[in-house]
């Protein structure tokens, strides 16, 4: 115990109580510890043994009290009681002799009734043996060790004395009455460190909650973005009749602004955890997260993708009708709206099927036990997640679809970078926004999965990606329009701008006619 440091405030040893009080100081050549070291190792040990004396100190069948018996016994010792082995058990031995004597007397009386004598006993005689056993088992008398009685198995039923070694001396700290299942505690126990060592290491479950400073900071940033998105939306609706705004497909821009607002709104539920919501509310928050993010992304990115798709479809086809498409490209509004609606519908249906078949629920991820807090206390970290049974499968489906859409958006943006058209006059800004959104999404998605066990890093990556992509989209699409209308004063409505539109159209037609003439002359020259 001393060599392995298995003593002190974290340990308590239970040792059989019938050893002599100074047993640990007895010289032993097999032990290479000093008396001081042995004293240090056994300090605080607890012993349990049958109570050896009668606490009431009553005069029993032997006509002696416990104190009188101890006094007579000490006079006959050649050593001190502390150095005498079995001294404490002497009252038990004395009462055991009395129990045997009384049992033999009772047996003799019972045998006399049957015409038998105790002196006729031999080891093959079961009759006398059984009588002796019954007499012993039914013994009940007051002895110097207390009331003597035996259970059905022949074991002595007595109080248990509990002692503790304090400063080299055994101190009584309690009694246990097995007959009545009663523990009497004397409150004399003393422990190294001030309290008893626990019987096991206490494991405290501690949830890893999101940093509130980080949550508040990014929520405020997202809130500012929502306000900015609302400003852009109001600006676009108010100036929808201005020619420059009309040529940018304002309805799709409204959808983009609304998508950015919904996407920014996901930052708040994304940061809610067990610190703010109850366990029963967690699945609902999980649903809010996935629906806001999916529909917001579908509206925001889907509307931009629609623009770039139709610009590519109408103006970059390399076939025999290239000239006709350049002269008279057909861009019907309903096609734009249907395309955007289809993209949003695909997102909505995918999420709906996911949540109906395998809804998101609150799951708890446990980690390895961490540092001790105080004595014999370990922290078991746990982290809350939104998850479902087939989470990997559903994420694979969503990420595959979104990833292909992002890659296709980048390709279309690159293909149309040199196209110039008044039908969608902001397609270059849309392409720039698509570049930024795609890059941020492709970087953030895998990184967020890698750091999913680190709540602060995971939230920061996801929230910042949402915030930056939304900010960039709103700034790239709407700030140039605001700047142009403010600096050039282009606040004319469709009615006021009619003459200018007619003039512009005629100039465009004349320019196209001259271009055709030049191409015809070039073809005639080649044929000739």
Per-residue pLDDT tens digits for 193-217? 888 888 888 888 888 888 999 999 9
- Please check the confidence at residue 465 and state whether its pLDDT lies above 80: yes
Instruction: Tell me: pLDDT of 272 over 70.
Output: yes
359: three-class secondary structure by DSSP? coil
- The more confident residue out of 444 and 211 is 211
Average pLDDT, the chain: 84
pLDDT category of residue 489 using cuts at 50, 70 and 90: low
pLDDT at res. 496 = 47
Contact indicator for 10, 375 with CB cutoff of 8 Å: yes
d(CA 426, CA 420): 10
More confident residue, 115 or 494: 115
Does the pTM surpass 0.95? The reply is: no
- With bands split at pLDDT 50, 70 and 90, how would you rate the model's confidence at 58? confident
Residue 504 has pLDDT above 70, yes or no: no
The residue count for the chain: 528
- Position 373 scores a pLDDT of 57
- Digit-coded pLDDT (tens) for 15-43: 888 787 888 888 888 888 898 999 999 99
Tokens matching residue 407? 């890659």
Lowest mean per-residue pLDDT among 45-54, 250-259, 371-380, 440-449: 371-380
Average pLDDT over residues 463-486: 90
Distance CA 384, CA 274 (A): 8
Is residue 328's pLDDT more than 50?
A: no
Q: Confidence band (pLDDT; 50, 70, 90) for 157?
A: confident
The answer to whether 359 and 287 are in contact (CB under 8 A) is yes
What is the pLDDT at residue 507?
53
Looking at per-residue pLDDT, the higher value among 83 and 374 belongs to: 83
Q: Could you please report the per-residue DSSP string of 131-193?
A: HHHHHHHT-EEEETTEEEEB-TTS-B--PEEEEEEETTEEEEEEEEETTTTEEEE-S----TT
pLDDT score recorded for residue 454 = 86
pLDDT (0 to 100) of residue 266: 93
Three-state DSSP class for residue 444? helix
Handedness of CA 452, 454, 455, 460 (dihedral sign): negative
Helices (H), 358-390: none
Identify the pLDDT of residue 322: 45
Confidence category of residue 156, pLDDT binned at 50, 70, 90: confident
Using the structure block, give the residue that is written with the tokens 């001294």: 87
**Does the pLDDT of residue 321 top 60, yes or no?**
no
> What pLDDT is stored for residue 125 in this prediction?
81
* pLDDT reading at 502 higher than 50: no
Give the integer Cα–Cα distance in Å for 329 and 427.
15
257's tokens: 């602004």
Q: Using CA atoms, how far apart are residues 145 and 56, in angstroms rounded to an integer?
A: 10
Question: Rounded to a whole number, what is the largest CA-CA distance in the chain?
Answer: 156
Asked if residue 52 lies in contact with residue 161, where contact means CB atoms within 8 angstroms, the answer is yes
Instruction: Give the C-alpha separation, 67 to 76, whole Å.
Output: 15
What token pair was written down for 148? 């003597």
- What's the rounded Cα separation, in Å, for the pair 370 and 73? 58
Q: What is the pLDDT of residue 263?
A: 93
Tokens 């955007």 sit on residue: 340
Our CA dihedral for 47, 53, 57, 60, rounded to 10 degrees, sits at 160
Per residue in 218-240, pLDDT (tens digit) is 999 999 999 999 999 999 998 88
> Residue 327 pLDDT more than 50?
no
Tell me, what's the pLDDT at 371? Answer: 66
More confident residue, 315 or 144: 144
More confident residue, 393 or 19: 393
SS3 of 203-243: the string is: EEEEECCCCHHHHHHHHHHHHHHHHHHHHHHHHHHHCCCCH
- What does the DSSP assignment read for 37-50? HHHHHHTT-EEEEE
pLDDT at 508: 59
| Per-residue pLDDT tens over the stretch 107-140 | 999 888 888 888 888 888 888 888 888 888 888 8
Residue 261: pLDDT band by 50, 70, 90 thresholds?
very high
């Amino acid at each position: 115990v001393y060599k392995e440091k298995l003593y002190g405030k974290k340990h308590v040893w239970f040792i059989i109580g019938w050893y002599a009080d100074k047993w640990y100081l007895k010289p032993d050549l097999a032990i290479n510890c000093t008396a001081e070291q042995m004293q240090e190792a056994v300090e605080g040990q607890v012993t349990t043994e049958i109570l050896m004396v009668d606490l009431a100190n009553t005069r029993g069948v032997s006509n002696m009290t416990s104190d009188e018996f101890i006094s007579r016994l000490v006079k006959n010792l050649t050593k001190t009681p502390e150095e005498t082995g079995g001294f404490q058990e002497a009252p038990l031995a004395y009462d055991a002799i009395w129990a045997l004597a009384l049992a033999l007397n009772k047996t003799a009386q019972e045998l006399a009734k049957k015409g038998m004598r105790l002196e006729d006993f031999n080891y093959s005689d079961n009759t006398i043996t059984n009588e002796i056993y019954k007499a012993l088992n039914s013994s009940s008398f007051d002895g110097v060790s207390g009331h003597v009685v035996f259970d059905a198995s022949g074991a002595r039923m007595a109080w248990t004395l509990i002692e503790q070694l304090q400063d080299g001396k055994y101190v009584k700290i309690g009694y246990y009455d097995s007959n009545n299942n009663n523990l009497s505690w004397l409150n004399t126990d003393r422990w190294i460190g001030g309290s008893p060592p626990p019987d096991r290491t206490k494991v405290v479950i501690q949830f890893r909650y999101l940093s509130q400073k980080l949550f508040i900071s990014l929520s405020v940033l997202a809130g500012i973005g929502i306000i900015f998105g609302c400003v852009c939306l109001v600006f676009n609706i108010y100036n929808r009749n201005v020619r420059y705004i009309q040529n940018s497909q304002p309805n799709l821009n409204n959808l983009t602004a609304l998508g950015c607002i919904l996407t920014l709104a996901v930052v708040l539920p994304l940061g809610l955890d067990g610190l703010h919501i109850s366990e029963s509310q967690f699945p609902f928050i999980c649903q809010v997260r996935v629906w806001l993010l999916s529909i917001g992304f579908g509206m925001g990115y889907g509307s931009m993708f629609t623009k770039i798709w139709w610009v590519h479809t109408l103006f970059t086809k390399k076939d025999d009708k290239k000239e006709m498409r350049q002269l008279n490209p057909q861009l019907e509004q309903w096609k734009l709206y249907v395309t955007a609606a289809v993209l949003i519908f695909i997102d909505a249906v995918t999420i709906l099927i996911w949540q109906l078949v395998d809804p998101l629920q609150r799951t708890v991820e446990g980690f390895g036990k961490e540092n001790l807090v105080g004595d014999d206390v370990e922290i078991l970290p746990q982290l809350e997640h939104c998850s479902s049974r087939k989470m990997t499968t559903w994420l694979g489906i969503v990420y595959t679809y979104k990833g292909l859409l992002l890659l296709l958006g980048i390709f279309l943006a690159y293909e149309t970078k040199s196209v110039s058209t008044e039908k969608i006059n902001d397609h270059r800004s849309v392409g720039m926004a698509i570049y930024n959104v795609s890059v941020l999404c492709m970087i953030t998605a895998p990184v967020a999965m890698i750091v999913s066990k680190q709540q602060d890093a995971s939230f920061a990556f996801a929230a910042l990606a949402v915030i930056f992509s939304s900010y960039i989209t709103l700034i790239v699409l709407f700030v140039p329009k605001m700047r142009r209308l403010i600096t050039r004063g282009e606040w004319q409505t469709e009615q006021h701008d009619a003459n200018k539109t007619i003039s512009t159209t005629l100039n465009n037609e004349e320019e196209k006619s001259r271009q055709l003439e030049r191409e015809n002359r070039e073809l005639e020259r080649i044929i000739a």
